[in-house]
Structure formats: C-alpha cells, structure tokens
C-alpha cells in the first residue's frame, strides 16, 4: 500500500461460512508484498465504515484471509458481500509475533473464540519452519462446538501438532473436553522452561490464561498477547486504543506480558476489558 490512509479496492475471491455468525473472506496475495503473523489490516465497506481485523492467513498462503464475526454495522454489511464484490483494504499494520526470537523453543498457542485467526496465521507460518522450533501446541476453546472456528482445519492440524479443544457447553454429539480453556492447560502438557506462549481471545479469557500460565511457571517475558480491542484508525492518531504510554495499533497489537505488567495496575481495565 502506498499510503496508510488510502485503501486499495480488493475483490473478494472466496467466502467461507465458519460458524453461524463467522465468515472468512479471501483476497488475492497482491494486496501487499508480505506481512508478519499477528499483524492486522483495516477493512472498509463503502457507505458503512471501517474495522480493524487480524490477518488470518500465513504470509506463505495462497490468499490473504480475514475471519470475521458478525457483531456490528460494519461486520453486518461485510456479511452481505459475496464472491466478486469489492471492499477497501489498507495495511498491514502492527508489529506481529516475534517468531525470530523463539528459535529452539516450544510454541504454545492459547485461543478463545474468534481470537484464533491471528494464532492460526502464526501456527501455519511456524509449521513451514518447523525445524526451528522444539514443538507446537494449540489450546483452543469456544462457547459451544458450533462456535469453534476452522473445524476442518483443526482436524487436519491435529495430525501435525498437538491440538487440545474444549467448549463451555457441550452437546450430545460432543466427545471432547467441557470447560474453560485454562482447564486444559496442564503441567503434563506444557513445559514452561523452554516454551513461549501466544494468547488471543476475549479480555477475561486472556486475563485468566495469563494467571494460569504464570502459575505453571511461565515468565512474563515468555507470554505474548494479541490485543485487538478498541483499535480504530491503525496509525495512532485517534487514541481509541491507548493503554498508558502505548497505542495498541502502533506499538502492538502484540505485547509481551512483561511489557503490559508495567502498566497493568493502573490500566488493567484498558487491557482486559
């Protein structure tokens, strides 16, 4: 993109219904040269508005993908779009997960609900460089089995890495774990001495996940969080995403807990709400 304020008009190449209220939108790779796993972009629906969304695809993927939950006016308008329709996109923005620092470590991903897309982008990218990491594990939870995003992908992914799933409320056909995601992160499944955790999901889920990881022995410097809430302009001008001295859209959206811990006492509401 030539200008951070000017969107590129992009044609939707494919739309996939992930859950009853979640869809994935696929675009050609020529939107930008590359991106880092964990970065985000701004999607503009003409006549309605613009929203920041994590990039759900790996830089290695055939398409650039965004996975969207229907929650407001812009996402509702986006849900009306079909293959061949055009929307505006600008990006990529933010810092991404610093995977280059994690060589030789085990990667532990913890996702909740619609927080999985930026983690999935990172997982797929890491799988393409698996020799650089000791192992890859995913712990993912959703409200019900129907709310689990990427069900088909998760099944295929479980053949390559350890995937642990849970739901808050099971169904008659659900044979997996029932409970919040922190309950499936156990000492037998993670080794904090040589692991880095990457977390994304609702604020309350991330708060308790950090507590659980710390109880298991993870250091704050080895826990990374994707904070997407409140972002609006993507260039640090509107102030919507400010947490103390940090602007999530510019300084993040990926932060180590070591960094957030410095401002948590005073700005906890901004971090975890």
Domain with CATH 2.40.30.10 in the chain: 8-93
Domain with CATH 3.40.50.80 in the chain: 99-226
Taking the C-alpha atoms of residue 46 and residue 158, their distance in angstroms, rounded to an integer, is 39
Report whether 224 contacts 97 (CB < 8 A).
Answer: yes
| Residue percentage of the chain with pLDDT more than 70 | 98
The mean-pLDDT minimum among 83-97, 144-158, 234-248 falls in 234-248
Q: What is the pLDDT of residues 165-198, one digit of tens each?
A: 999 999 999 999 999 999 999 999 999 999 999 9
Per-residue pLDDT at 1 exceeds 50: no
The sign one gets for the Cα dihedral 89, 92, 97, 102 is positive
Taking the C-alpha atoms of residue 218 and residue 124, their distance in angstroms, rounded to an integer, is 24
Mean pLDDT over residues 131-159, rounded? 95
Cα torsion through 95, 96, 102, 105, rounded to 10: 150
Among candidate residues 111, 107, 118, the one with its CA nearest the CA of residue 147: 111
Q: What is the pLDDT of residues 56-115, one digit of tens each?
A: 999 999 999 999 999 999 999 999 999 999 999 999 999 999 999 999 999 999 999 999
Q: Indicate the pTM of the whole model.
A: 0.95
Domain 99-226 has CATH 3.40.50.980: no
CATH class of the domain defined by 8-93 = mainly beta
Taking the C-alpha atoms of residue 78 and residue 127, their distance in angstroms, rounded to an integer, is 31
pLDDT value of position 235? 84
Phi then psi for residue 223, to 5 deg, are: -120, 125
């Amino acid at each position: 993109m030539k200008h951070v304020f000017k969107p590129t008009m992009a044609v939707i190449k494919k739309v996939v219904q992930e859950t009853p209220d979640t869809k994935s939108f696929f675009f050609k790779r020529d939107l930008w040269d590359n991106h880092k796993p964990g970065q985000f972009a701004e999607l503009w629906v003409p006549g309605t508005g613009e929203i920041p969304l994590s990039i759900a695809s790996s830089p290695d993927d055939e398409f650039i993908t965004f996975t969207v939950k229907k929650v407001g006016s812009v996402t509702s308008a986006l849900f009306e779009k079909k293959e061949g329709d055009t929307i505006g996109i600008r990006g990529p923005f933010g810092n991404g997960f610093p995977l280059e620092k994690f060589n030789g470590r085990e990667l532990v991903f913890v996702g909740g609900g619609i927080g999985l897309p930026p983690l999935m982008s990172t997982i797929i990218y890491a799988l393409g460089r698996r020799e650089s990491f000791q192992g890859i594990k995913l712990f993912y939870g959703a409200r019900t089995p129907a709310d689990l995003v990427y069900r088909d992908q998760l099944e295929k992914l479980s053949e390559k890495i350890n995937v642990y799933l849970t739901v808050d409320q099971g169904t008659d056909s659900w044979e997996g774990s029932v409970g919040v995601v922190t309950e499936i992160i156990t000492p037998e499944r993670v080794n904090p001495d040589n692991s880095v955790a990457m977390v994304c999901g609702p604020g309350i889920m991330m708060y308790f996940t950090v507590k659980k990881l710390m109880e298991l022995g993870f250091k704050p410097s080895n826990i990374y969080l994707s904070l997407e809430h409140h972002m609006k302009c993507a260039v640090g001008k509107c102030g919507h995403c400010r947490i103390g001295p940090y602007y999530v859209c510019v300084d993040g959206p990926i932060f180590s807990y070591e960094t957030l811990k410095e401002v948590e006492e005073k700005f906890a509401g901004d971090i975890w709400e």
